Amino acid sequence: MNFLVTGGAGFIGSHVCEHLLQDGHSVWAFDDLNDFYDPALKRRNLEEVKGSRFPFKFVQGELTDRTALAGLFASAKFDQVIHLAARAGVRPSLAEPALYQRVNVEGTVHLLEAARNHGVRKLILASSSSVYGVNAKVPFSESDPIFSPISPYAASKLACEALGHVYHHVYGMDIVMLRLFTVYGPRQRPDLAIHKFARLIRDGLPVPVFGDGATARDYTYITDTIQGILACTRLEFGYEIFNLGESQTVKLIDLIRLLEEVLGKQARLDWQPNQPGDVPITYADISKARAVLGYRPVVKIEEGMVRFVAWFRKH
């Protein structure tokens, strides 16, 4: 099949491209290579993906450019689209809410329209655990109410879920929304906690700890997330939402202690106040993904951290 992967030069996107190619598909990666973090890292991701013997093409462009998207869809007949491109991050969205609305929401509309106009029926879109907001009920279930996002990023992802439902309901498109929990592993963005903390501990620099260190996240190793994404490419749903997480939580301070152990170096902790937009916990109920997708996360945080640090030291 022919797949379009938006955000294909990024952390998750490059792994998706790589696995699709390994499964014998043809893949187009679409990415704007913006400077949210060093574009050279994204280009390195692309170089690692290009080693496959199957057709792979990279197209640089922006989601907000309708002409570029129309030309891309006209150039190839895509069977499926995996939409991972977005302005990411809760805290950066607080500083630039209009940018997050424009890229994540308007850009997703442009993509959906391009797909509809060129007869692409199936799209898999990345949502986020952040749509759950401050959810008193744990673990988070796909049926939980999600009307209280607490960051512009979360609000943009909530809007994308609503748009996905509209395009299914009105135009009959097959839409899957994946609420991704905190994904980590090789090629992880340098601004994300595990990568950032590893770098700071290695360099002997202070590690910022917001609040009392008790905030907890559902850290999910990249290969487990990819397993769930690929399972969605093989089925039809109409419109469906799935959590993809590890379904276990790790407190921030325990994460830092585990990194210290694997790196063999003690962290210098810099205690700071709670950050606006941060939720106290993310915790995925994955029973639906298990039942429908056969989703089975297998990499525990202890093993995943060893794998990540091995990659971190190599690169």
- Residues designated catalytic: 153
CB 269 within 8 A of CB 209: yes
Distance CA 127, CA 77 (A): 25
Distance CA 201, CA 138 (A): 31
Residues paired with 184 in a beta bridge: 221
Count Cβ atoms within 10 A of the Cβ of residue 290 and give its class: 0-12 exposed, 13-18 middle, 19 or more buried.
Answer: middle
CA dihedral sign, ordered 288, 5, 3, 47: negative
How many Å from the N-terminal Cα to the C-terminal Cα in the chain? Answer: 33
Kind of pairing between the strands at 56-60 and 206-210: unpaired
Three-state DSSP at 264 gives coil
Three-state DSSP at 304 gives helix
